[in-house]
Amino acid sequence: MTERFLHGRTALVTGSTSGIGLAIARDLAAHGARVAVNGLGTPEQIEVAVQSVRAAGAPDVRHFDADLRDPERIEAMMAEIGAWSGSAGPGIDVLVNNAGIQHAVPLAQMPVQKWNDILAINLSSAFHTMRLAMPGMAERGYGRVVNIASVHGLVASKDKAPYVASKFGIVGLSKVAALEYATAGSRDSGGVTVNCICPGWVETPLIEPQIQARRNGGSREDGVRSLLGEKQPSLRMSLPEDIAATAVWLCRREAHNITGTSVAIDGGWTAQ
């Protein structure tokens, strides 16, 4: 039986209508959290995501729409979540900044609008949610910020200038916030911590075409090993549920002194 240690807590997971974000939202729900879902999709896709989080065990779940490129819309969403959670302010106990986009072309060919959008969604939106949520966490003596960065927040790859810049940026932002809130709360209350998870290859539907393109007549596993061979020594992908389990573990009271860290889940990529 899953320990519902997040009972009475409110969580926001951005970019949680699919993939890693949805897996995290479900796992937080399974451990008792009320979950605010945020992300894109058709009304049908959003409803499926909400229902799956509810089925995982959330005492309450709701989708909150916001264009994460727009600070005013983020502020409105945070206020709506605060009212929904029964708090006078943004009553978010667990904040997972997962939303992200990418566009891969050489630096000189990168459209300026793509640079602006990627930095806004991948980095600036996290700044805005954190600045609005963290004072309340400090007042309550418990808070968890888990920023889903990337292995590209630790090492670079060509043709991904704005993505790499945004992920290095969120690692740095997390360290600053961790230092500023390090003394909030106590060991008993759980404190306020800020950490990054830095995944390497994660098995989501978005990368299936790349796997198939690498099969060369072999099995799907051959395709995976070929795709990962250049950078991920384990030659196996993580599952979204693996990332989710790590995020939830960081929310435990026992993790009160784990802050300002970047947890690489990369099969040895950054050990090379």
Q: Is the dihedral of CA 207, 110, 67, 196 positive or negative?
A: positive
Give every CB contact of residue 173 below 8 A, 6+ residues apart in sequence.
123, 126, 127, 130, 147
- Six-digit token string for 23: 């897996």
- Six-digit token string for 234: 């384990």
CA distances from 146 to 104, 224, 255 (A): 25, 28, 12
Q: What is the DSSP letter of 87?
A: -
Q: How far is CA 35 from the centre of its chain?
A: 14
CA distances from 86 to 80, 92, 134 (A): 10, 10, 17
Burial of 219 (0-12, 13-18, 19+ CB in 10 A): exposed
- Six-digit token string for 53: 């989080």
Length of the chain, in residues = 272
Query: Which of the residues 163, 168, 201, 269 is marked catalytic?
Result: 163
Would you call 181 a catalytic residue per the annotation? no
Residues with a catalytic annotation lie at 163
